[in-house]
Amino acid sequence: MPSLEDELFPSTPGKFKVDRAHNMNRQFHRCFASTSTMFLWALFLIALTASYLSFQSFVDSGSRYFSASWGGIQWEKQVRNSAQIHRSGGMSVLVTGAAGFVGTHVSLALKKGGDGVVGLDNFNNYYDPSLKKARKSLLNSHGILVVEGDLNDAKLLAKLFDVVAFTHVMHLAAQAGVRYAMENPNSYVHSNIAGLVTLLEICKSANPQPAVVWASSSSVYGLNEKVPFSEADRTDQPASLYAATKKAGEEITHTYNHIYGLSITGLRFFTVYGPWGRPDMAYFSFTRNILQGKPITIYRGKNRVDLARDFTYIDDIVKGCLGSLDTSGKSTGSGGKKKGNAPYRIFNLGNTSPVKVPELVNILERHLKVKAKRNIVDMPGNGDVPFTHANISLAQREFGYKPSTDLQTGLKKFVRWYLSYYGYNNRKGLQ
């Protein structure tokens, strides 16, 4: 079959008939008509495709709008109501990780004191999300809104700051746990480093800039053997990835303080425990297993030395958090530009009275009235350290921090909450 080019321009010259011009003219008309038709069909198909894509985009946008957990006039109203300040000179605080253990207690204390509070939490499944949902319900009952969203969602953070001019940020959201870092290291980088940077980027660009108080960890002391641990001690020998991400957070926050004038306070928590605590913590899992008649695993260090921790009751940690917020000072930047030096502080928040883990178990046995089935093993190389001991003199000097709850009293309160929350009763001989 001859090509279009062959039909228009024959390859054998000198053999044209008299009606050559007429034939060529007819061919041109036929070709033009065919080409025009094809062109029109192409335009039609392009228009149809564009219409479909536009409609699909509209559907997707609508779907995202209706399925999103934030946004809209009603949502903005809830955010503003939750952030409303009810005392003279009060704060409007964004609490990240608000449905977490420490976040719940800090949010309740702020609200009780007349400050405005808006929570943010992603409700991940590192441990049972139902406990986080229960904490959220508790916060809601006190007029505290907890927005469900990820710390790395810059659009959500920007929207929150657009709706409310937060004076302070209490940053408690993090991927917790020393041992879990060996299973899922990326989650620590995502939450503890990338999430922190995302938050600081929003804070540095806010106008006015908020003061930032955030949770570091006693784990940054790592392999340090000098006791008690002081803020002036070396922290460049982390023993776990979790510790390394918290140490990285301290360096990152220092950078944002230096370049952008953000007021930054880092808090090194020492083994926090109490009601509404984290199920992955030893005291919590010990309680569960003792009540269920299951053996508990107690680790010991080198040369059969018992592990010891500076157990700090949640109410004492809350005191430290509120004291840090109250004395944080102001950020000095505006629109991402530094106008002067701003405070940069790091404090230990501990109990200053380390207790050996076997003694912790003894106390739980007395409160539960059940003997534990102990399985004592050598501590594996999983990033845990043999002991922690806080020097809290700096926090005492700066804002009067003074822990007041010993382990015996604190565990009694925890056990009472645990039995109530999980439905145990006195008929089992438990109080």
Beta strand pairing call for 272-273 and 211-215: unpaired
**Contact, 418 vs 370, CB < 8 A?**
no
Q: State yes or no: is 344 an active-site residue.
A: no
**Contact, 163 vs 78, CB < 8 A?**
no
Distance, first Cα to last Cα, the chain: 97
From the list 127, 180, 221, 242, the catalytic residue is 242
Number of CB atoms found within 10 A of residue 202's CB: 22
Structure tokens at 420: 């109530």
Contacts of 150 (CB under 8 A, 6+ apart): 122, 156, 195
Q: Could you give the CA distance from residue 223 to residue 230 in angstroms, rounded to a whole number?
A: 14
Active-site amino acid positions: 242
